[in-house]
A = this chain, B = another copy of it.
Amino acid sequence: MVVPSPVRERKKRETWRLVHSAALRLMTERGFDAVSVDDIVAAAGISRRTFFNYFADKESVVFDPDPDDAALWAALLAERPPGEPLWSSLRELLIGYTGATAERMLLQRRVRLASPELSGCSREVADRFWAAVREWAGGRTGLDPLRLDLTVNAARTVLNTACPHWDADTGIAGLHELIGAGFDFVHPSPSERISS
């Protein structure tokens, strides 16, 4: 992939957002299962096949990050100070990321409320995000792979646990409070056990 020309890229992002917003609008109205891919492509004015060029599957249209998000989280990762403990970095990262994508967090929350059938699905934000986080964290700490994964996955669990407890009326600040409380509560720490 040799950096596509800006026009193509712009169109792709436009189409992505068009399909995405059409899908989420329908899903907040009727729920995830009650909206078929054909409904989505009809509403978005594209072909069924094109839908699957943009999204690997139907769930992805809910959970995939915006095309611009990769740049966003890369920036957030880059601005973490060198010596900062991993757990603190992850907290700030999630605060920053959810803050910057607040509208989409709220949208996703609304879709979830309208779609109880999605309750088993654990990805509050996309897998690609966490893959990037995992890779970044791997190059920054002397932690062994097990503890590294434990830490990153614990952060993911904090977010995934906080989201269902979030009352959307409290706004993104309410979510941030829950995330903060979760990070304080879980807080993995190397061999700092209180009682054996």
Contacts and interface: CB of A to CB of B under 8 A. Distances in A.
Interface in A135-171: 145-147, 149-150, 153-154, 156-158, 160-162, 164-165
Given A157-B153, A160-B153, A161-B153, A147 B185 contact: yes
A65 interface: no
A99 B49 CA distance: 47
A189 B187 contact: yes
A185 B146 CA distance: 10
27 contacts: A120-B127, A122-B122, A145-B165, A146-B161, A146-B162, A147-B181, A147-B185, A150-B157, A150-B158, A150-B161, A150-B185, A150-B186, A153-B157, A153-B161, A154-B157, A154-B186, A156-B157, A157-B157, A184-B193, A185-B190, A185-B191, A186-B188, A187-B189, A187-B193, A187-B194, A189-B194, A192-B194
A186 B87 CA distance: 11
Contacts of A35: none
B188 A187 contact: yes
